[in-house]
Amino acid sequence: MAKTLFTMSFAGTGADGCRGGPYPDCLGTGFRGDAPRTSGCYGALGTGGAAPEGGRSDSPGTTARGSGQAGGRGPFDRTLLGSAVLRNRIFRAAVGDTVEDGLPGDASMRLYGALADGGAGTILTGFTLVDDLEKGFMPILSLADDRVLDAHKALVELVHSKGAAVVAQLVLIGSYQSTEFHKAVTPRLPFLTLLSPSGLHDPICGASPRMISGPEIRRVHDRHAEAALRAKKAGYDGVEIHAAHGFLLSQFMQPALNRREDEYGGCPENRSRMALYTYRAVRQAVGEGFPVIMKVNVRDGFPGGCDFGEILGLCRTLAREGLDAVETSGNWRDLPQNSGPFFLGEAAEIAAQVSARVILTGGLRTLDDMLRVLSETHVEYLGMARPLMKDPAFVNKLKTEYEAGTAGGGTGA
């Protein structure tokens, strides 16, 4: 099992070092006014509901896009995601940006310009802070206040001028960090407050976070909504809510870390509420049509981590409420790097049963892999990071290979 929670290169990983154990029964009187209490939980998250238009359904045991194979699609198809026109199906998956004072600077402009020139259809930004209370954690992008808008507008305009789309990835870090980072930063910035679902001490990084309170939970929802609206004002083509990799929203879905006895803890419906309510706040802020994506872990890789069935249920509910796409991820550090697409089975299952589009990220290295995913599953989009870190023009090279009909090469480290 991986022993680094977070690297200073901001590469990301699944969570580790978590504690197992029982969690309390659920409390409360209903998710919504029209939702009956079910098995002591709030409502019936991910269970049933009317089928969306076009014959798709997000009910358990049903197929969202039919039972046949999704043939005839290619990685360089032009598609529509919400209101955004995407020139191909390939996403540059998020890689953390090192910036000063939360602002995209010259290095960001050069990198994003090269990625757009290199053929990526959509660029996901590195994770971007939504709350200034976390601005001392890491030197990363921020959309936490209006002063950053002009710099983000310039970045967006550059990417658009080169024909690509760009989506802002929003994150509330919580208490997820490396041992080295915690030791280096905590003495220097004692005012930083580390928050987690239940305030459990983490023996791996040595952090002792505080249990997040009800008002602070509402602040999380509000800050995501405010940051998403800023992203829209800056011209971004959408936002992605980061609910994976052990950040705060992800921790709420892990029984090992979430021992709460209120409406946000206990049964799967309650533990998923943090992500669901954050999405609702974001959607209300940006309105219909503006693309909203959520990144989720489908496999944490430790006892007491997320359960895939629960994640599938959350995705169904989010799709019924208008989520445009789900990006699948997980604890990829424990997987062989040349083993093919990561989490393909889980992504294919979500794509078959959920009306939201699915972005499969991780382990995609060749054109053959991409063609197989698109021909054998209902996954719509393909995310990659490492090959584009090595070569920002990798997508253009894949396109040349695709147009020449010479699949079989195009590997990326």
Asked if residues 91 and 381 have their Cβ atoms less than 8 Å apart, the reply is yes
Distance CA 115, CA 392 (A): 5
User: Residue 88's pLDDT is what?
Assistant: 98
Other CB atoms within 10 Å distance of the CB of residue 372: 15
Residues of the chain short of pLDDT 50, as ranges, are 1-56, 61-71, 178-179, 411-413
Distance CA 336, CA 375 (A): 24
Angle at 90 between CA 252 and CA 275, to 5 degrees: 15
Distance CA 25, CA 23 (A): 7
Listed in sequence order, the residues at least 6 apart from 119 whose beta carbon sits closer than 8 Å to its beta carbon are 88, 90, 393, 394, 395, 396, 398, 399
Exposed, middle or buried, 317 (CB in 10 Å: 0-12/13-18/19+)?
Answer: buried
Angle at 168 between CA 164 and CA 171, to 5 degrees: 155
Pick the CATH number of 75-404 from 1.10.3470.10, 3.40.50.150, 3.30.465.10, 3.20.20.70: 3.20.20.70
Find where tokens 């010259």 sit: 106
Listed in sequence order, the residues at least 6 apart from 360 whose beta carbon sits closer than 8 Å to its beta carbon are 328, 341, 343, 344, 347, 373, 379, 381, 382, 383
For 342-366, letters b (16+ CB in 10 Å) and e give: bbbebbbbbbbbbbbbbbbbbbbbb
Domains of the chain by residue range: 75-404
Strand partners, 152: none
Listed in sequence order, the residues at least 6 apart from 218 whose beta carbon sits closer than 8 Å to its beta carbon are none
The three-state DSSP-derived secondary structure of the chain is: CCCCCCCCCCCCCCCCCCCCCCCCCCCCCCCCCCCCCECCECCCCCCCCCCCHHHCCCCCCCCCCCCCCCCCCCCCCCEEECCEEECCCEEECCCCCCCECCECCHHHHHHHHHHHHCCCCEEECCCEECCHHHCCCCCCCECCCHHHHHHHHHHHHHHHHCCCEEEEEEECCCCCCCHHHHHHHCCCCCCCCCEECCCCCCCCCCCCCEECCHHHHHHHHHHHHHHHHHHHHHCCCCEEEEECCCCHHHHHCCCCCCCCCCCCCCCHHHHCHHHHHHHHHHHHHHCCCCCEEEEEEEECCCCCCCCHHHHHHHHHHHHHCCCCEEEEEECHHHCCCCCCCCCHHHHHHHHHHCCCEEEEECCCCCHHHHHHHHHHCCCCEEEECHHHHHCCCHHHHHHHHHHHCCCCCCCCC
Tokens at 337, concatenated: 């790097």
